[in-house]
Amino acid sequence: MVALLEWWSGTECTLYTDPASYPFYGKEDAIVVLNHNFEIDFLCGWTFCERFGVLGSSKVLAKKELAYVPVIGWMWYFLEIVFCKRKWEEDQKTVVQSLQRLKDYPENFWFLLYCEGTRFTQKKHKISMEVAERKGLPKLKYHLLPRTKGFCVTVQHLRGKVCVSSVVTAVYDSTLNFRNNQTPTLLGILNGKKYHADLYVRRIPLDSIPENESECAIWLHKLYQEKDELQEKYSVTGRFPGPTLSPPRRPWALLNWLFWICLLLFPLCLLLLQLFHSGSAFTICTTVLLCFAASLGVRWMIGQTEINRGSSYGNKEGQLNNNAQVSKVTNKDSRTTKTSAACTAGIKNNHEQFSTKQEGNTQLDQDTGSCSC
């Protein structure tokens, strides 16, 4: 996939970073915090990993659903990718266990965290800003409100310990944009469309991030406010501040791709040709059906990257947030708690009735939810 981006579509990637931080990239374990607005942002992430020699040890806190994507998901499972259900009560134990395992990782790794937890849509943004308002946090224009639990637990568990081989020394605050308001897609890449990615990376030593959970959460919210200001600058000027450095693309991804093409695709084509020449009508029909099913499968996999087919996570503010509110308000005022609990129950009901991944239908949940609130 990296070869497709770099060599097939010829997409260019420019890095904006402080030259003093540059020598550290690829030479230390790091936590990467990235904005989540584009369908191919993970692919651009991989490209940079490749250029700094850490592609094989690029890790991520990924949603569990991706573990079931054929080939890619299975590969991630074996690469010790950390999966989460995005339900903290269920994730807490497994995420901590996976992070503990990463501590023994023998090579330098980058652990990617999309703290927004889901990709940016107008609707998710609106809901998340309502949450921000309720929490008394400043509104963000270009980001969703970050979910702090995953970040804080990662910082806590990957923080330096003398007795382990892997010591995370920094957080890379990264912001990705595409030139000229391009909205790149995987299908675009497959069609050979060229994009231009700009990535801004700021290296923040891990020591400067508070260890305490609530202070760490405040720190992350502040970071996202700064990221938002940076995005504002980019949207006005069309570039990030500071010097640019473009690490050159390397031939390995292409060579790897060519190797597999020769080994697999060439004999496969020969086999198909032979089959069409000498096979029975039944064999030919079965083969055509199999090819059709395989192409549908690949199309489904590509669909996993499409934002308009994304999950409903972050669309259901009512449910998540009122749950949180119930526990918070309980201590203060039992009458309010009842109202909040009733509200939660009402919304849960609505979710059961209208539960769907489609944005339009989820709107119904939200409409009803906010009315009863």
Ligand X SMILES: CCCCC/C=C\C/C=C\CCCCCCCC(=O)SCCNC(=O)CCNC(=O)[C@H](O)C(C)(C)COP(=O)(O)OP(=O)(O)OC[C@H]1O[C@@H](n2cnc3c(N)ncnc32)[C@H](O)[C@@H]1OP(=O)(O)O
Ligand Y SMILES: CCCCCCCCCCCCCCCCCC(=O)OC[C@@H](O)COP(=O)(O)O
**Nearest distance from C-beta of residue 49 to ligand X, angstroms:** 5
Nearer to ligand X (CB atom), residue 9 or residue 149: 149
Nearer to ligand Y (CB atom), residue 148 or residue 340: 148
Rounded Cα distance between 191 and 188, Å, is 5
Rounded Cα distance between 79 and 64, Å, is 14
Q: Which residue is nearest to ligand Y (CB)?
A: 310
Which residue of 46, 52, 83, 114 would you call a contact of ligand Y, by CB under 6 A?
114
Which residue of 42, 120, 178, 219 would you call a contact of ligand X, by CB under 6 A?
42
**Nearest distance from C-beta of residue 120 to ligand Y, angstroms:** 8
Nearer to ligand Y (CB atom), residue 114 or residue 200: 114
Binding footprint of ligand X, residue count (CB under 6 A): 42
Binding footprint of ligand Y, residue count (CB under 6 A): 16
Residues 25 to 54: which contact ligand Y by CB under 6 A? Answer: 42
Residues 6+ away with beta carbon under 8 Å from 293: none
Q: Does 330 bind ligand Y (CB under 6 A)?
A: no
Tell me which of ligand Y, ligand X, none is bound by residue 231, counting a contact when its beta carbon lies within the kind-specific cut-off of 5 to 8 angstroms: none
Q: Does 67 bind ligand Y (CB under 6 A)?
A: no
Nearer to ligand Y (CB atom), residue 63 or residue 159: 63
**Nearest distance from C-beta of residue 84 to ligand Y, angstroms:** 11
Piece of 136-144, 158-166, 172-180, 302-310 that binds ligand Y (CB under 6 A):
302-310
Tell me which of ligand X, ligand Y, none is bound by residue 84, counting a contact when its beta carbon lies within the kind-specific cut-off of 5 to 8 angstroms: ligand X
Cβ–Cβ under 8 Å, residues 311 and 336 = no
Residues 190 to 249: which contact ligand Y by CB under 6 A? Answer: none
Q: Does 98 bind ligand X (CB under 6 A)?
A: no
**Nearest distance from C-beta of residue 180 to ligand X, angstroms:** 21
Nearer to ligand X (CB atom), residue 218 or residue 284: 218
Closest CA to 142 of 167, 116, 160: 116
Q: Does 63 bind ligand Y (CB under 6 A)?
A: yes
Piece of 270-278, 306-314, 327-335, 346-354 that binds ligand Y (CB under 6 A):
306-314
List Cα–Cα distances, 59 to 56, 98, 108, 261, in angstroms: 9, 11, 11, 26
Rounded Cα distance between 368 and 326, Å, is 18
Q: Does 200 bind ligand X (CB under 6 A)?
A: no
How many CB atoms within 10 Å of residue 139? 13
Tell me which of ligand X, ligand Y, none is bound by residue 34, counting a contact when its beta carbon lies within the kind-specific cut-off of 5 to 8 angstroms: ligand X
12-17 sheet: strands from edge to edge: 82-84, 58-63, 110-113, 29-34, 168-178, 196-205, 12-17, 244-245
**Pure H helices in the chain:** 2-3, 41-51, 72-78, 88-102, 122-135, 148-158, 186-190, 213-237, 252-260, 266-278, 281-303, 317-330, 334-354, 359-372
Which residue of 29, 31, 140, 150 would you call a contact of ligand X, by CB under 6 A?
150
Q: Does 301 bind ligand X (CB under 6 A)?
A: no
**Nearest distance from C-beta of residue 45 to ligand X, angstroms:** 3
C-beta contacts of 150-153 below 8 A and 24+ residues apart? 150/61, 150/84, 150/91, 150/95, 150/113, 150/115, 150/117, 151/31, 151/33, 151/113, 151/115, 151/216, 151/220, 152/213, 152/216, 152/217, 152/220, 153/92, 153/95, 153/96, 153/99
Closest CA to 196 of 176, 211, 224, 222: 176
Q: What is the largest CA-CA distance in the chain?
A: 80
Piece of 95-103, 192-200, 243-251, 295-303 that binds ligand Y (CB under 6 A):
295-303
Applying CB under 6 A, the residues found at the interface with ligand Y are 42, 63, 66, 69, 72, 114, 118-119, 298, 301-302, 304-305, 310-311, 313
